Amino acid sequence: MIRSSDRSLDKHPARRRARLRAQAALFTCMAALAFATFILLNTHGALAQDAEDASDLDATAVAVPEGIIGEPPLAFLKADARDETPDQDAKDAPEGAAQMVEGASAVPADAAETTASVNDALGGAAQMAEGKPSYNLSLPKRADTGLVYNGTRQQGYGGVPVVRILADNGVDEMDYHAPLYVEYKGINGTMYNSPPVQAAGYQQINTYAPINAGTYQVIFTVPESQSFTLNPSSFEFSIAKAPAPALSQPSVTLFDAPGSVMEFDLASMIGLPSDLNGGPSYAITGFTETGLASAAVDPAIGKLTLTANDRASRSVQDTVTVAITDMGNYEDCAVQVAVSYVTKPSATIAGVKAATDLVYNGEPQQSYTGSPQATYLSPLSNQSETYNGPFVITYTGTASDGSAFGPTTQAPTAPGTYRVEFSAPEAASFTGSLALDFSIGKGASGGPDPTKGSSLAATGGNLAATGDGLLPGLFATVAGAAILAALIAGIRLIAKRRS
């Protein structure tokens, strides 16, 4: 049986073993944390300062960076050794180990932030390592000047673009020619935008170099895959308008009748070039008024409208000046239109005949058959011309009751004698007319007569209109019937006596 004194002796070895186990656990955790920290710092190239501190580590203390896992374990060990009794050591050892393990669990989150910062730093360093040298464009030195529109592409600079760069040995220089791209943009109101294309070689012109007059910018670039970059390089240049085109000075002929109006397609008469690149605009800047009453032009399409006055004749002439502006590739100019006058020719109108056997039917009746057609010799073309209408058709005449009819464009309805006249419209290039006479007869016996005011006209006329009166007519009818009855009665009496 073990005595109480023996049990008290056994207490000290037990406590000693418990404390040793706790210390062993703590040292194991500290060693693991120190190794993890070392691996992280070594991975990101940040061990320069820590290498010096690592030489001070010994078996009883590990200097862990503050803020990573809390207070250094060394402080805990010193406090344990100085202030606690063996019983407290055995009781606190597991709690201290738990604290160390809990501190160790915070390492991954903090280490992740550290890793992100290091990666950012490494990324910046990588970008700096990838930085490319930049160079200026060596040739051309300047843009071309004095360019004038000529209908061909003009690239705005001379020669072939060159960039002077360092050779691969980093000492010598060399000329870089290709690939080197150019693109064109219109500026200062010029509308143009080309895609980048490789610069043309000697005695060649860039594919998208501009043609039309305007102001442009030519931009030089190198591919992004090149081992260097080209500093912003561009030139501005202009292509001036060509001198005003040599246009035809047209002549027109206007009929001399007062108020005669004629239109002319000026745009087709002056020989405009096809490469205007916009415009033109037309405007009357002046005209003489010997035989002209007015002159006007459509500013967009160039239709010229002239009107003769009452002084126009074959012996006078006029001049109309028209400015032509806003041509994209040519300077402004003007044309002078010479105006002369002729008398309208007289035309022969045929193709129609007067209608016959027309009888009143209560409706307007066309007084002719066929279609009118005018033929004349044009003084403008000196050729025979044909005109098929429309014509001005006018009716005049006298109804059967003696009333006048017309002039009017409405065909007659009532019986009577009439005339239809076909004449040239005012705007026609000729004069002349054709007249046809026709008549409309009364309706059949017993039918209505539009010249009388009563239907009794068919049985003796309108009694009131003729002055006979209604009663006298009625008495005459009754008397006739009485005489006939008396005659019949007399014949019957004679026959009876004979029998």
pLDDT digits (tens, 9 = 90+) for 199-208: 998 888 999 9
One DSSP character per residue, 168-226 reads: TTSSSEEEE-SS-EEEEEEETT---B---EEPP-TT---TT---SSEEEEEEEE--TTS
Task: Output the pTM of the full model.
Answer: 0.56
Give the mean pLDDT of 40-62. Answer: 45
> What is the rounded CA–CA span in Å between residue 160 and residue 469?
120
Query: Which of the four pLDDT bands, split at 50, 70 and 90, describes residue 423?
Result: very high
For residue 367 the two structure tokens come to: 């007084």
First to last CA, the chain: 207
One DSSP character per residue, 341-401 reads: EEPPPB-EEEEEEE--SEE--SS----EEEEEEEEEE-TTTSSEEEE----EEEEEEEETT
For residue range 214-235, what is the model confidence (pLDDT) as tens digits? 999 999 999 999 999 999 999 9
Q: Mean pLDDT over all residues of the chain?
A: 78
- Residue 179, pLDDT > 90, answer yes
Query: Which of the four pLDDT bands, split at 50, 70 and 90, describes residue 458?
Result: very low
The CATH topology of domain 134-240 is Immunoglobulin-like (2.60.40)
Confirm if 325 and 281 have CB atoms less than 8 A apart.
yes
- Residue 390, pLDDT > 90, answer yes
Least trusted range by pLDDT, from 97-101, 181-185, 297-301, 383-387: 97-101
> What is the rounded CA–CA span in Å between residue 357 and residue 369?
12
- Write the secondary structure of 107-172 as one string of H (helix), E (strand) and C (coil): HHHHHHHHHHHHHHHHHHHHHHHHCCCEECEEECCCCCCCEECCCCCCCCCCCCCEEEEECCCCCC
Q: Which CATH code, of 3.90.25, 2.60.98, 2.60.40, 1.10.3470, is assigned to 251-342?
A: 2.60.40
For residue 253 the two structure tokens come to: 């002929």
Strand partners, 126: none
For residue range 104-147, what is the model confidence (pLDDT) as tens digits? 344 444 444 544 443 444 344 334 435 899 999 999 999 999 99
Confirm if 397 and 369 have CB atoms less than 8 A apart.
no
> What is the rounded CA–CA span in Å between residue 282 and residue 269?
13
Give the mean pLDDT of 175-196. Answer: 95
Greater confidence (448 vs 4) lies with 448
Query: Which of the four pLDDT bands, split at 50, 70 and 90, describes residue 38?
Result: low
For residue range 240-275, what is the model confidence (pLDDT) as tens digits? 999 999 999 999 999 998 999 999 999 999 999 999
Give the mean pLDDT of 398-405. Answer: 95
Amino acid code (one letter) for 78: K
